Amino acid sequence: MNPTRPLLVTSLGTMSYADALEVQRATARARIDGVIADDLLLLVEHPAVVTTGRSTKAANVLLTPEAFAERGVELFDVDRGGDVTFHGPGQLVGYPIVNLENHKADLHWYLRQLETSLIRALASFDIRGEQSPGLTGVWTLGRKIASIGVHARQWITWHGFALNVTTDLSYFDMLVPCGIANVTMTSIEQELLRRETAGTCFAPSPALGEEARDAVVAGLAETFGWSPTEYSIDELRSQLATAAQP
C-alpha cells in the first residue's frame, strides 16, 4: 500500500440527506469516469432523517410517516446495504468515494477497514471500539456507537459511516437501529460523560465535533495508507460541473 496516496477531504457542513446524496452520486460518477483521479471523503452533518436500506424490514420502522413528520424527521429510502438507521445533528457522517480496485476489490474487506478506521479514531478519546462478529458497525462495551452501510458500482464506493458524537440518542427510539433488536446506542459524548461520572476528569470539550472529525480522518489515513488533503466544496463543485459538461 502506497502511504502517499492522496485522500481529498471535503466538508459539506450541514446539508439535507437528498442534497448530499446527489453530491455523492455526482462524485462517484466523476470517479468512475476518471474525471476525479483520487479517492475522496465527504464529511457532513444531516438534519434529522431516518433512512431505509435494501435490507430494511417494515417492523424495524416503529413510527408512521405522520409521526415522523410531527417530530421533524424526514424519511428517505436509499440504495445502500443494511437496514434502517438515523442521521441527525451531532453525528459525523462520512461518505468515502473510493476506488477499491486501487486497494482490494472486496466489499467485506472494505467494511472491516472502515470499522478499523473508526476504532482507531475512538482510541484517541480513550474509548475502546470493537467489532461484533457477524454484524457491521462499531461498538464499545456492547453499546453501538457507529453504523456503516455502503454501496459500490464498478468498485467505486459511496454511502459510508455515521459516528455518534453529540447525537440526541432518543431519536433511535423511533426505529430498531440497523435491525438489531435490543441494541443500546451511545455516542462519544455519552461515553466521556460516563467516564466523568465514574470519577475521572476526561470530560467532553466544546470542540468535540472538530476533534472527532480530525480523529476519523487520521484513522482512515492510517488504515488505508492515505495522505489527507483538504478539498473545498467550491473546488469539488467546480470539478463536478466540468465533469457534467458534454
Condensed to tens digits (0 to 9), the pLDDT of residues 162-190 reads: 999 999 999 999 998 878 888 899 999 99
Instruction: Write down the pLDDT at residue 23.
Output: 96
Q: Pull the grid cell for residue 11.
A: 466538508
- Say yes or no to pLDDT of 80 above 80: no
Confidence band (pLDDT; 50, 70, 90) for 77? confident
Nearest CA to 236 among 78, 2, 13, 76? Answer: 13
Nearest CA to 38 among 230, 241, 222? Answer: 230
- Say yes or no to pLDDT of 66 above 90: yes
The domain segmentation of the chain, as residue ranges, is 5-241
Active-site residue, selected from the candidate residues 175, 178, 212, 221: 178
Grid cell 451511545 in the structure block, residue: 186
Instruction: Write down the pLDDT at residue 181.
Output: 82
Instruction: Write down the pLDDT at residue 12.
Output: 97
pLDDT, average across residues 7-28: 96
In whole angstroms, give the CA distance from residue 51 to residue 87: 8
Instruction: Write down the pLDDT at residue 196.
Output: 65
Q: Strand locations in the chain, DSSP E?
A: 5-14, 39-45, 49-52, 74-77, 85-87, 91-97, 138-140, 143-153, 156-164, 226-230
Q: Is 221 helix (H, G, I), strand (E, B) or coil?
A: helix
In whole angstroms, give the CA distance from residue 107 to residue 198: 39
Class of domain 5-241: alpha beta
Residue 201 annotated to the active site: no
Query: Higher pLDDT residue, 7 or 3?
Result: 7
Query: What single string gives the DSSP state of each residue in 35-96?
Result: SS-SEEEEEEEPSSEEEE-TT--GGGB-S-HHHHHHTT-EEEE-SSSSS-EEE-TTEEEEEE
Query: Higher pLDDT residue, 195 or 103?
Result: 103
Instruction: Write down the pLDDT at residue 9.
Output: 98
